[in-house]
Every structure is written in structure tokens, then in C-alpha cells.
Amino acid sequence: MRFHSLPTAQLSTDTRRQREEPTLLEVFYDLVFAANYNVFSDNQEVTDVTRFKAYLGYFFLLWLTWLLVTLYDVRYVTDSIFSKAKSNLCRSWSLHILLTRPRKARLTRAIQLGVLVGFTIVAPKFNPTAQHMETMQAMSIILMVSRACLAVEYAAILRHVKDYKKSHTPLRLQMAVHAGAAIIYLGLNFGFREGVKNKVFVVWYIVSAAEALLTILLSNLCPVLSFTETHLIKRLTLLTVIIIGDGIIQVAREVVTIVKNPDAWDGVTIGLVTAAVATIYFVFLLYFDWLRDSFHLPAIRQQLWMSVHLPFHLSLILFTQGFTQFLIWSKIMDVLNTLSMGFGRAGHEWLVNATSHEVQNRLNDSTRAFFDSFPPKIPSTWVTIDDAISNVTLIPDAFWTELANYYQSHNANVFNTTDIQAAEVFSNVLQATMSSMANALFATFGMDLESEVTNKNPRLYDDIKGGGFQGEVQYETWDRYRLVFACTYIAAGATLFFMILLAVLARTTQLKTWPVTRLAIICCLALGTSLTSILFFHRDRVFTFLLSPWVLPTIALVWTATITLTHINGENVGRQVRKVRRRRLSVYSVDRSLPTADTLVPEAEQSWHKTRGEA
């Protein structure tokens, strides 16, 4: 390694210019990070508390690994494909070191990229509750390699600045932090046993959090480790943009899924897609509008701003993933709400003179026409449908006339004792038929929970003819929609709340009355959005809302109101109001028919009044 001596002013300017933006290598690393959590989200969808805990744990480890690598990169690495590696150390001492060999930086970054690939490998079976031994051991090794690589990188920096004694202790402490963590992770590898469940994995989270906190603490105590004057904020904003961009990609995927099916591109679909894209765009605009070009903040404020991004990114990912699923669910609701086979209060007139054979034929034609548009994915669907429709002939013909009278009068007394048994048979027929049709519709749009239901209760698959299996699949699917609704609304409110917190931390000017009022209103919107998820615990009320077309537009309206409030200049509005009032007063003063100040003041005091007015 060779050092070149350059004039301090020239090198400072060059280094500052090079450090303004993330390098291509850093951008590539961020893209791999984004691909990693997308893979995990696709393989580990949040379906229950266990899956949610696994999601939180995985993202926590992944994000902190990214952060620790980023904190090294923004301080000491400026390598790219087109430039040589540079290191900027000890800014307060005007010490700048120009390295001429970029290969080491690229080699260590290749190792860190391999670490992210390792995260991808363990993603499908990562579940601390089930504790698949090979997966848990692999995660420990992955974390160990990442921290050992960081320790080696800091050791290389220490070697390059061996002539500067003041930098030795801080760098050695930073090395010790990562080396100690690597040793702990290696030891945890031996704590996992086949068939034995324990809480050893909790040490992952504790050690990772301790690493991040100690790194931040050392950066405050030692100038050589400070990242205040780096482009750290731009790295975080870049990652945020990538996450928001993934939301747009997911919207595009859902649109493709929708338009593959018949009668897909209608007014409802166009409105939903427009609302989804506009909402994600508003999130992007608000994030940067509230940042106000504050890419360099005081040390403590910058560190708080950085730390808030952990829960912010988590809530943003959960929000965008759930919000885009609302596109599919809203389309499913639209199809179900327009579905009619003539067995409801609307269009029941044909039942007055119908026979059981005619009802059977109509029901058979309706279901087969539906399955032509939405082919069933469950192999036993046709068995369930044929068995259910065959039972229609067991119902006496007189029942259909009384059913039509019931739809018209809403009076259950129109049924006689014999019809009660017939009504039960008809109810079972409709339940099996509608469940099968709903499950076919769900599966067409990618909501296929057949395997999950079979794994939970293998014996239930035997109840094919009775429709019990189809009913359970439908019940689980509706429950999934309820869970997606609750998680998405909580995440939407949390995303907005953390963005408010980031805006306050990034603000460098004093808050005035209107900005405080505006933030208070937006806080109320965030709180109200999250509290809407309380409907999750009221099954009847929640499905009244979920079956309506307002699930997605409600969130879109919240973000629309937020960006509208952001761009309303309250102080300017106040000035305009005062200006209008002054104009009204001026009109009043020039009216000759009304008394003026001169006529109201005694003659002896008029000269004083005029002098005062002139002054």
C-alpha cells in the first residue's frame, strides 16, 4: 500500500466531492438488501403470531447487518467501478489518506454480499419457534462471517494509520466490538440441537443491538470513528427509495394478476390502481418534502434520525406489501358482490313456479359458467359441487314458491314444518356451492390456502362431499383477509407516525404555530388509521367494512389529506385573512356618510390627532 502526499486543501475538496453521493458499490449492496427481504416476504408471509415474530427477528438481524456494514462504508470506502478506493480519516485532524488499491474493498464487499446471499438461503425455513437446526446454525455462521469481516476491515484501517497514535485506541475498540460479536455468534452455533427448542436465538438480537449501540457510542467519543460529515443520510434515503420502489413493483404484479382474468379492467379496477399508485407516490413525496434537504445534521440528531429508520423501514415494508394486496382483495370483493344465481332477494321471481329439476339445472349452469371463468384449483371441487347439486332434487317443488314468498315478505312463517327440513337441505347446497366458487375465485387471484388447511387438519379432507373441506378453506381465507387488513392499517399508521418523527428530527428551523398544528392533525390521522384495526376483534363489523369498496381508498384518502396539509401555507392563509380584514376596514373609513375619527374627536384635540395620524 502506497501513500501519496497531496495539498490538504486540494485533497479535502476532492474527498468531499467524492463523498457527497453513495458509490455504485454501495447502491448495489442496497439493492441486494432489498432483494433479500423481498425473498423472505414471499416465502414467509405473515399469517399468525409465530410468523410475525419470525418476520420481525429476521428483518431486525438483516437491517442491523446492513447498518453496520454501511457505517463502515460511509466513513472509509469510496470505491466504485470507475474510481480507486479512498479513505477519509480523522477529519478533525485534517488527516487524509489516499489508497491506490481498490481490490481489498471490493473483496470484503463481496464477502458481505455473500452474507446477504446467506440470509436468502435461510429465509424459507427461518422460524425461531420451530427452530430448524440447520437453519439456526447457518444463521449463526452467517452473522459470524459478517462481523469477522468487519473486524478485519477495521484492522486494515488501523494498519494504514499506524503512524497516528491517537487513532489506535478507537479503532481497536471498534475491532473488539465486532470480533467479540463474531466469537459469540460462533459459540451460539453449538447451542442448537436437533429436536431441542431453547431461547439461545435471543442472543442474536441482543448482540446485534449491542454492536450498533457501541458503534454509535464510539463515534461520539472518537473523531476517527465519527460519521457526522458523511453521506449516511443519503444512504438511508436511498434505501427508503428502493423500498418504496418495491411497492410500485408489487402494484404492477397485482395489476398483471388482475388483468389476466375476464372482465378485469373496469372502472372499479382503474380507480383502485390509481389510488394505490397515488398513495405510494405520496409517501415518496412526503418523505423528501419533510426531509427539507437536511442531508447533514448534528451528531446526536443524525443518530436518532438513523435509529428511527429501523422501525420506519419495517412498518413501510409491511404497509406497502399489505396495501398492494388490497388491490387483489378489492377485486375479489367486486366479483363476489356482483355474483348472483337468482337465489337472493333480487331476481327471485322465477322461483314462484319453479320445480326442483329446473332449480338444479339453473344451479348447475351457473356454477359451470363461473368455473369456466375461474377454474378451481382444488382437485375435489367438482366432487363437492356434483354431490351438492344432486341433493336439490330431494327438495319438494312447493318449497320454491314459499321461498319466493319469503324473499318478498321477509316473513319466516310462510314455511311449514316440512319446508324447514327442505330449507336446511337447500342451505347446505348453497353453502357447499358458494364456498367452492369462492375458493376457486380466491385461488385464481393467488389466495390458495388448501395446503395450509390440509396440513392443519388432514382428516378434514375426507369431508369432501359434505362441503366441510371447502367451507374450512373459505373460512381460513376470509380470516387471512381480516389479518391483512389489521396488519396493513396498523403499519400505515405507524409509517405515518415515524415519518412525522423523522420530520421533527430533520427540521433545522424553529417550529412555528402552523407547522405544529399541522403535525398534530397528521398525528391524529395516523392514530385513527391504526385504531381502525380494532375492527379485527369484531367479526361482523370488520366484514361489513371488508366487503365494502372502501378498504383501499380509506388509506389513500389519509395520505391525500396528509400531503394536502403539507402544502398548505397556514401563515400565508393567515396573512391573506388579515389583508381582507384591512381592506374591509379601509372601505369603512372612506365612507363619507359615516362618522370619521376627526368628527368624533373634540375640536381642541383634532390637531393632536392629525399630527399623530401623520406621524
- pLDDT tens digit sequence for 84-136: 333 444 443 433 343 334 556 678 889 999 999 999 999 989 988 888 899 99
The pLDDT value given to residue 3 = 37
Cα separation, 182 vs 171, whole angstroms: 17
591 lies in a domain? Answer: no
Considering the domain architecture, whether residues 252 and 222 belong to the same structural domain is answered as no
Cα separation, 65 vs 211, whole angstroms: 10
Residue the block writes with cell 447457518: 138
Considering the domain architecture, whether residues 104 and 156 belong to the same structural domain is answered as yes
Name the region of 195 (left: φ>0; alpha: ψ -120 to 50; beta: rest).
Answer: left
Boundary residue ending a domain (193, 226, 259): 226
Closest to 230 measured CA to CA, from 106, 88, 92, 104:
88
The pLDDT value given to residue 33 = 94
The pLDDT value given to residue 459 = 65
Considering the domain architecture, whether residues 108 and 210 belong to the same structural domain is answered as yes
Range of the domain at 244: 231-338+478-563
The pLDDT value given to residue 486 = 95
Boundary residue ending a domain (207, 226, 245): 226
Considering the domain architecture, whether residues 415 and 388 belong to the same structural domain is answered as yes
CA 403 to chain centre: 48
Burial classification of residue 56, based on how many CB atoms lie within 10 Å of its CB (0-12 exposed, 13-18 middle, 19 or more buried): middle
**Residue 87 main-chain phi, psi, to 5 deg:** -130, 135
The pTM of the full predicted model, rounded to 2 decimals, is 0.84
The pLDDT value given to residue 59 = 95
SS3 162: coil
> Dihedral through CA 348, CA 352, CA 355, CA 358, nearest 10?
-40
Considering the domain architecture, whether residues 246 and 362 belong to the same structural domain is answered as no
Closest to 11 measured CA to CA, from 118, 92, 98, 83:
98
Considering the domain architecture, whether residues 306 and 355 belong to the same structural domain is answered as no
167 lies in a domain? Answer: yes
State the DSSP code for 553: H
537 lies in a domain? Answer: yes
> Dihedral through CA 283, CA 50, CA 480, CA 321, nearest 10?
20
Burial classification of residue 427, based on how many CB atoms lie within 10 Å of its CB (0-12 exposed, 13-18 middle, 19 or more buried): exposed
456 lies in a domain? Answer: no
Whether residue 321 contacts residue 250, with contact meaning beta carbons closer than 8 Å, is answered with: yes
Whether residue 107 contacts residue 9, with contact meaning beta carbons closer than 8 Å, is answered with: no
Count of CA atoms in the C-beta half-sphere (13 A) of 266: 10
Cα separation, 68 vs 475, whole angstroms: 44
Max CA separation in the chain (angstroms): 111
Considering the domain architecture, whether residues 69 and 187 belong to the same structural domain is answered as yes
526 lies in a domain? Answer: yes
Write the CA distances from 520 to 28, 156, 585, integer angstroms. Answer: 38, 49, 34
323 lies in a domain? Answer: yes
Considering the domain architecture, whether residues 187 and 82 belong to the same structural domain is answered as yes
422 lies in a domain? Answer: yes
C-alpha grid cell, residue 70: 454501511
Structurally, how many domains does the chain consist of?
Answer: 3
Considering the domain architecture, whether residues 217 and 240 belong to the same structural domain is answered as no
Burial classification of residue 146, based on how many CB atoms lie within 10 Å of its CB (0-12 exposed, 13-18 middle, 19 or more buried): buried
Considering the domain architecture, whether residues 238 and 331 belong to the same structural domain is answered as yes
Low-confidence residues of the chain, pLDDT below 70? 1-20, 78-105, 262-263, 340-348, 417-419, 458-467, 570-581, 584-615
The pLDDT value given to residue 343 = 60
Specify the DSSP element, H or E, that contains 189: none
Boundary residue ending a domain (211, 226, 241): 226
15 lies in a domain? Answer: yes
C-alpha grid cell, residue 308: 428511527
Considering the domain architecture, whether residues 171 and 124 belong to the same structural domain is answered as yes
C-alpha grid cell, residue 400: 320454491
Considering the domain architecture, whether residues 275 and 213 belong to the same structural domain is answered as no
The pLDDT value given to residue 182 = 97
